C-alpha cells in the first residue's frame, strides 16, 4: 500500500514526546513490511543542517489561508527503502526556536501554522504523482486534513483517499477562536456541533473525529475510556457516536533504541541470562546521583514530563509517606516549575534518599531505566505510555496506575503472580500509590519472586513487527469502506 502520514513531529527530526517516536516507528515498520510510507512534517529550525542529504523538490505551494495566500517550498529525504520524509519549508511559520512554544507560551499563530501544514498535506495527497491509498494523520495539528479532503471531494476531486486519524492524547485538541475557522476556507457547513465547532470555538481535533473514516488511539483501554465523560475531555459524546469506527492499538517499542544488550548509554549491558550487569548500573546510578551506594536499598525512579497528567501530585504525597522506610528515589523530568519545587522540597526533606535532575537527557533516561529496581508511573490518564514498556524490557518493575496503556501493558503481581510483570493500583490517591510502593518493598525482599517477575517483564514483547499489522488491517478496512 501507499500510505501518506502527517505529523507535526517525527523522530529524529523533531520531538517533544511519544508522538514523534510513534510516527517514525510506524512509518519505518510499514516500509519494512514492503509498503511505501511517506511522512509530511514541518521543516523546523536546524533540521536541514543536521540532515544535509535532503533534497529540494521541484514543487511550490501557493495556498489560500483565509483572505491571503501563503507560499512554501518542499524538501525530501529518503530514510530507507520505502520511506520518504517530506519537509514543508515555510520559514516564517517553522524556522523558530521552539516547535509549539517559547518560554512556556504557545505561539499565538499556532492555528495558522498548522492549518497551513494541513493544507499542504491535502495538496500533496491530491497532486503528487505517487498516489496514496490512505492518508493517516496524527493529533490536532493535522486533524483538519479529513475535513479539507471532504471539501475537495465536494469541489470535484472524484475520489480522495480515505483517512485515519490517530489520537495520541485527547487532552490536546487545538482549540482556537471562531475567527480561526476562516483560515481553513471551508464552507460554514463544516462549522457546526457535528463538525469543527466546539462551543463557538474552532476545535481541530473534533473536526478530525467527525470527518476521518477511522479513528484510532494508542491503546485499547484508552479507546474505551475516551468514550466516557470522565476521560472524554468534552468529546465523549461525539466519540460514542463514532464508536464503531474507533479502535485502540497499543504502541510498539523501538527495541533497536531501547534494549539492555547493545546499548552505548548503559554502564554495563545485561540480559535475562546475565543479570549481574543490572546491579552495576544500579550502583553507578546511585553514585551519579550522590546517593549512598548500596545494592540492598530498593531504588525507585521516574522519567516524565512534569505535568498534571503524570500524577505528580499523588507521587509527591506517596513518597513523603514512604521515604521513611528503607528506599531511594531518583527523578528525571522537565515541565511545570511548581512541580519542580515539589521535588526540590522532597530532596530537602530526604537528602540521602532522593535525588532529581531537571531537563531533557536521553542518556540519563536509559541509565535510570537500567539502574532502578522499580519505575513509578502513577498517571491520572495515559493514552499509551512508553516508559513502562521500556522499564519492562530493562527488568525494572513498573508500578503503574491501571489506566489507558498502562493497564494494557502491565500484568499485576496480585492478579496473576505467575505471569506478573509489575504492580498496579487503581484509585488516584497518594494512599493507593503508597500501598503499591509497600507491595514493591515486599517483592524486593523476596529475591525468587522478584527474579521471576523481572524475567516475565523482560520477555514481554511490544515490538512494532506485531503492531504494524493492526494498522494495516485498519488501512484495508477504510479502503473497503470508501470503495463500497
Ligand atoms: P508523553 O508522550 O506523554 O510525554 P510517553 O511515556 O508516551 O509520554 O513518552 C515520553 C517519551 O519522552 C519517552 O521516550 C521518555 O523516555 C521521554 N522523556 C520524557 N521526559 C524526559 C526527560 N526529561 N529526559 C529524557 N527523556 C524524557
Residue whose entry in the numeric block shows the C-alpha cell 512554544:
101
pLDDT above 70 (res 483): no
Site to probe by mutation for ligand 1, drawn from 304, 330, 368, 370 as the one with most ligand atoms within 8 Å of Cβ, is 304
60 Cα distance to chain centroid = 32
Does residue 360's CB lie within 6 angstroms of at least one atom of ligand 1?
A: yes
Q: What is the pLDDT of residues 292-325, one digit of tens each?
A: 999 999 999 999 999 999 999 999 999 999 999 9
CB 41 within 8 A of CB 118: no
CB 201 within 8 A of CB 177: yes
pLDDT above 60 (res 165): yes
Boundaries of every domain in the chain: 2-252+465-483, 276-461
Q: What is the pLDDT of residue 466?
A: 85
Q: What is the pLDDT of residue 480?
A: 84
Closest C-alpha to 394, from 441, 332, 460: 460
Q: Which CATH superfamily is domain 2-252+465-483 in?
A: Glycogen Phosphorylase B; (3.40.50.2000)
Rounded Cα distance between 178 and 181, Å, is: 6
Q: What is the pLDDT of residue 461?
A: 95
Q: What is the pLDDT of residue 467?
A: 92
Rounded Cα distance between 149 and 212, Å, is: 10
Atom of ligand 1 nearest to the CA of 333: 23
Of residues 278 and 360, more confidently modeled: 278
CB 332 within 8 A of CB 340: no
Residue 327 C-alpha cell reads as 528506599
Burial class for 308, CB neighbours closer than 10 Å (0-12, 13-18, 19+): middle
Rounded Cα distance between 112 and 119, Å, is: 11
Rounded Cα distance between 55 and 306, Å, is: 38
Mean pLDDT (the chain) is 96
Phi-psi region of 156 (alpha: psi -120 to 50; beta: other; left: phi over 0): left
pLDDT above 70 (res 482): no
CATH class of 276-461: alpha beta
Does residue 305's CB lie within 6 angstroms of at least one atom of ligand 1?
A: yes
Does residue 362's CB lie within 6 angstroms of at least one atom of ligand 1?
A: yes
Does residue 304's CB lie within 6 angstroms of at least one atom of ligand 1?
A: yes
Q: What is the pLDDT of residues 111-160, one digit of tens each?
A: 999 999 999 999 999 999 999 999 999 999 999 999 999 999 999 988 89
Of residues 360 and 311, more confidently modeled: 311
Rounded Cα distance between 423 and 420, Å, is: 8
Q: What is the pLDDT of residues 257-297, one digit of tens each?
A: 899 999 999 999 999 999 999 999 999 999 999 999 999 99
Q: What is the pLDDT of residue 118?
A: 98
Does residue 400's CB lie within 6 angstroms of at least one atom of ligand 1?
A: no
Q: What is the pLDDT of residue 103?
A: 85
Site to probe by mutation for ligand 1, drawn from 10, 251, 255, 305 as the one with most ligand atoms within 8 Å of Cβ, is 305
CB 171 within 8 A of CB 39: no
Above pLDDT 90, what percent of the chain? 95
Rounded Cα distance between 354 and 367, Å, is: 16
Q: How confident is the model at residue 397 (pLDDT cuts 50, 70, 90)?
A: very high
Q: What is the pLDDT of residue 104?
A: 80
Question: Given this chain, do its domains 2-252+465-483 and 276-461 carry the same CATH topology?
Answer: yes
Q: Greatest CA separation found in the chain?
A: 71
Give Cα separations from 73 to 70, 89, 122 (angstroms).
11, 5, 15
Give Cα separations from 19 to 65, 360, 377 (angstroms).
26, 16, 18
What's the average model confidence in pLDDT over 348-373?
97
Residue whose entry in the numeric block shows the C-alpha cell 492518508:
135
Query: 63 CA to middle of ligand 1, Å?
Result: 35
Rounded Cα distance between 428 and 416, Å, is: 22
Amino acid at each position: 500500500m501507499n500510505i501518506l502520514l502527517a505529523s507535526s513531529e517525527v523522530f529524529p527530526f523533531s520531538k517533544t514526546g511519544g508522538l514523534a517516536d510513534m510516527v517514525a516507528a510506524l512509518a519505518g515498520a510499514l516500509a519494512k513490511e514492503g509498503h511505501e510510507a511517506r511522512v509530511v512534517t514541518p521543516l523546523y529550525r536546524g533540521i536541514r543542517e543536521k540532515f544535509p542529504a535532503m533534497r529540494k523538490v521541484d514543487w511550490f505551494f501557493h495556498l489560500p489561508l483565509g483572505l491571503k495566500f501563503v507560499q512554501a517550498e518542499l524538501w525530501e529525504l529518503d530514510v530507507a527503502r520505502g520511506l520518504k520524509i517530506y519537509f514543508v519549508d515555510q520559514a516564517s511559520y517553522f524556522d523558530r526556536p521552539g516547535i509549539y512554544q517559547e518560554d512556556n507560551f504557545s505561539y499565538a499563530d499556532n492555528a495558522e501554522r498548522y492549518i497551513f501544514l494541513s493544507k499542504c498535506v491535502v495538496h500533496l495527497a491530491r497532486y503528487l504523482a505517487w498516489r496514496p491509498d490512505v492518508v493517516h494523520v496524527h493529533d490536532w495539528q493535522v486533524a483538519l486534513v479529513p475535513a479539507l479532503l471532504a471539501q475537495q471531494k465536494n469541489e470535484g476531486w472524484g475520489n480522495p483517499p480515505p483517512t485515519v486519524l490517530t489520537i495520541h492524547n485527547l487532552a490536546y485538541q487545538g482549540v482556537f477562536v471562531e475567527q480561526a475557522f476562516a483560515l481553513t476556507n471551508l464552507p460554514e457547513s463544516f462549522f457546526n456541533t457535528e463538525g469543527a465547532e466546539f462551543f463557538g470555538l474552532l476545535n481541530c481535533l473534533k473536526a478530525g473525529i467527525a470527518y476521518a473514516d477511522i479513528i484510532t488511539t494508542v491503546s485499547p483501554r484508552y479507546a474505551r475510556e475516551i468514550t466516557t465523560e470522565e476521560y472524554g475531555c468534552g468529546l465523549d459524546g461525539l466519540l460514542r457516536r463514532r464508536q464503531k469506527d474507533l479502535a485502540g492499538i497499543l504502541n510498539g517499542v523501538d527495541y533497536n533504541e531501547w534494549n539492555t544488550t547493545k546499548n552505548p548509554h548503559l554502564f554495563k549491558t545485561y540480559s535475562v541470562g546475565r543479570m549481574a550487569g543490572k546491579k552495576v548500573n544500579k550502583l553507578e546510578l546511585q553514585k551519579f546521583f550522590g546517593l549512598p551506594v548500596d545494592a540492598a536499598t530498593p531504588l525507585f525512579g521516574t522519567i516524565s514530563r512534569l505535568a498534571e497528567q503524570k500524577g505528580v501530585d499523588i507521587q509527591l504525597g506517596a513518597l513523603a509517606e514512604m521515604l521513611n522506610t528503607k528506599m531511594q528515589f531518583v527523578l528525571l523530568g522537565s515541565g511545570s516549575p511548581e512541580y519542580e519545587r515539589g521535588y526540590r522540597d522532597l530532596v530537602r526533606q530526604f537528602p540521602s534518599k532522593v535525588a532529581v535532575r531537571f531537563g531533557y537527557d536521553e542518556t540519563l533516561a536509559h541509565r535510570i531505566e537500567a539502574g532502578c529496581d522499580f519505575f513509578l508511573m502513577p498517571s491520572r490518564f495515559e493514552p499509551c505510555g512508553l516508559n513502562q514498556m521500556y522499564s519492562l524490557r530493562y527488568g525494572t518493575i513498573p508500578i503503574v496506575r491501571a489506566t489507558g496503556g498502562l493497564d494494557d501493558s502491565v500484568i499485576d503481581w496480585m492478579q496473576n503472580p505467575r505471569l506478573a510483570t509489575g504492580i498496579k493500583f487503581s484509585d488516584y490517591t497518594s494512599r493507593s500509590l503508597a500501598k503499591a510502593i509497600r507491595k514493591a518493598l515486599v517483592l524486593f525482599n523476596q529475591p525468587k519472586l522478584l527474579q521471576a517477575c523481572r524475567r516475565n517483564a523482560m520477555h514481554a514483547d511490544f515490538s512494532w513487527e506485531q503492531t504494524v499489522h493492526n494498522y494495516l488491517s485498519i488501512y484495508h478496512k477504510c479502503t473497503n469502506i470508501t470503495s463500497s
